[in-house]
A and B are shown apart, each in its own frame.
Chain A
Amino acid sequence: MSILVYTESEQGKFKKHALEAASYAYAVAQQLGTTVTAISFNNEENDVLGTYGVSKVLQVSDDNLKTFNAKAYAQAVSQAASKEDARVIVLSSSTDSKYMAGLLAGMLKASYAPNVVAAPESTDPLVVKRTAFSNKGFALTKLEADTSIIGVSNNAFGLKENPTDATVEAFTPELKDGAFGVKSVEVDKVVGKATIADAEIVVSAGRGMKGPENWGMIEELADVLGAATACSKPVSDLGWRPHGEHVGQTGKPVASNLYIAIGISGAIQHLAGVSASKTKVVINNDPEAPFFKAADYGIVGDAFEVVPKLIEKLKEFKAQNA
């Protein structure tokens, strides 16, 4: 048996969180005294996987699988799991991985723990630590079925290099009827810009910005930092920003290295969704704003004065450290 990791790619390159999942799979393999097999789709960069501890790559090359299709991919991963006799399957917390994980759990009658933040606490029984109650707590979850699926939380375990010689094997899954029952018609995606899911830094702004016309400085700040932009719920409800930017308990989760909250009060629902970020900075003119209790660094001040100054200082810093 081996540990199977699904390594997601985008435009022929492995996503950072796929490599994080591979790093995690290696840690589990070490605990269980086995090796890691990866399944990749239409990706040739197998050496990269070796760097993160993968010993064998099952490489699927199929034009029908160029665009992600949850059911077809789940069938392929489930067949790879049987072929490799994998009892543990590791994947990331990307939107697509989470989409596939539920299907996979149903197909394999497997135990599934999402949002896992650390290497297993024990392997017999298999117990993992994951976030629950929208980051207001952690659960230690025992995975009891014959096959277990572990969804690794973004940015929690980290990238760990374990250079390994990876052998590559072509793998042709047998896709069943109905695999393409859901067809992609059109993908509308910003390219070349950091996304909330992948970004190391997220710059987020709230109702304190007064109106959509004032987002120029937020975008500029994000640009200087190479960050993704996000917003509080009312800002997207008011149509100031697109829904895709809404973060929090009912929006997207954020688990970046740095989260900068500007003109956001720090309501419990907002904090729940962003608290997994490692360092949090708040800029707010109200010293009583609840966000100050949840932040690492804060500036009490008017965003319209502080943000332009911050942009200027960051540009100076970038120039010195370039």
Chain B
Amino acid sequence: MKILVCISNVPDTTSKINFTEGDTKFDTSGIQFVINPNDEFGLTRAMWFKEKQGATVHVASVGEASTEPTIRKALAIGADEAIRVDATPTDGFFVARQLADIVKKGEYDLVIAGRESIDYNGGMVPGIMAALLDMNFVNTCINLEVDGNNATAIREIDGGKEKVSTSLPLIIGGQKGLVEESDLRIPNMRGIMMARQKKLNVVDPVDATAATEEVRFEKPAPKGEVKLVDADNVGELVELLHNEAKVI
């Protein structure tokens, strides 16, 4: 089984978000970039397929050279090979077009992307890829088993779970649950050394245009002071929620 894990390079979850150039650009100064958490769960599940079922695992990312440390981290975790499409990831449609091209050329059986990237929260890349390639697609995937050409997955739905059966070639949008938090791997020294020897192929983008453009950003309005209610006067909170906030 040939697996491609799609990796998005995103600001660390603790990042304070600011904008620059007249609020038209995300300010990356001082920002630490990491593997998108949803993708990291997928990558870790892919490592399981590699170790238990002999799968080959490649990772792909669309981004400039500055994303290479994140890609190297994925190699250090254990992916066999990496591909970087040398382009600015302008929007979800553009990124999906690039990754779809890699999937087609590489004849991957299973493509693992994240449910969404935690930066622009588009949540569209795996779905668009699936439509462009006419592959089976399971989103918000929290469990995946593959047996030969057949796959069984569980996806999270509002208020519960749905078990589905499908077949390869398959694309999933993954998240926590694919593996547990405690299964995530911190690259060790040996992994980091080995990652330096692994292939990181840089390819040119295919011709594609973005379908959207971020014209401006805004920060949320600053929050007013919290209104404190005395722990011995809980009734006042009920009053405030009813009369002032009007939510009960």
Contact = CB atoms under 8 A, between A and B. Distances in A.
Interface of A: 70-71, 74, 94-96, 98-107, 109-115, 127, 129, 131-145, 178, 181-190, 193, 195-198, 200-201, 225, 233, 237, 243-244, 246, 249-251, 257-258, 268-269, 272, 275, 278-279, 281-282, 292-302, 305-306, 309-310, 313-314, 316-317, 321
A106 B139 contact: no
Contacts of B216: 139-140
7 contacts: A103-B127, A105-B127, A113-B212, A131-B121, A250-B118, A293-B226, A298-B226
Contacts of A70: 127, 137, 139
A154 to B, nearest CB: 10
A132 B120 contact: yes
Contact of A189 (B119, B161, B212, B223): B161
B247 A136 contact: no
A183 B166 contact: yes
Contacts of B159: 189-190, 193, 195-198, 244
Given A279-B247, A309-B234, A132 B121 contact: yes
A107 B131 contact: yes
Nearest to B138: A182
B123 interface: yes
A190 B121 contact: no
Given A102-B130, A115-B121, A193-B159, A310 B140 contact: no
Given A250-B118, A275-B220, A281 B211 contact: no
B141 to A, nearest CB: 10
B14 A102 contact: no
Q: Is the interface of B mostly helix, strand, loop or mixed?
A: mixed
Contacts of A178: 134, 136
A299 B227 CA distance: 9
Contacts of B119: 132-133
A275 B17 CA distance: 15
Given A70-B137, A137-B218, A317 B130 contact: no
Given A114-B124, A143-B212, A278-B247, A106 B129 contact: yes
A119 B217 CA distance: 16
B123 A140 contact: no
Interface string B140-170: 1010000000001001111111111111000
Contacts of B138: 182
A250 to B, nearest CB: 5
Nearest to B127: A102
Contacts of A316: 235
B187 interface: no
Contacts of A296: 224, 226-227, 245
Nearest to A67: B162
A133 B121 contact: yes
A189 B181 CA distance: 24
Given A114-B122, A181-B166, A310 B237 contact: yes
Nearest to A257: B247
A99 B139 contact: yes
A15 B71 CA distance: 41
Contacts of A310: 234, 237-238
B16 to A, nearest CB: 8
Nearest to B140: A95
B211 A112 contact: yes
Contacts of A140: 214-218
Q: Which 10 A-B pairs have the closest CB atoms?
A: A102-B127, A106-B131, A301-B231, A189-B160, A195-B159, A106-B128, A111-B211, A197-B158, A136-B17, A258-B247
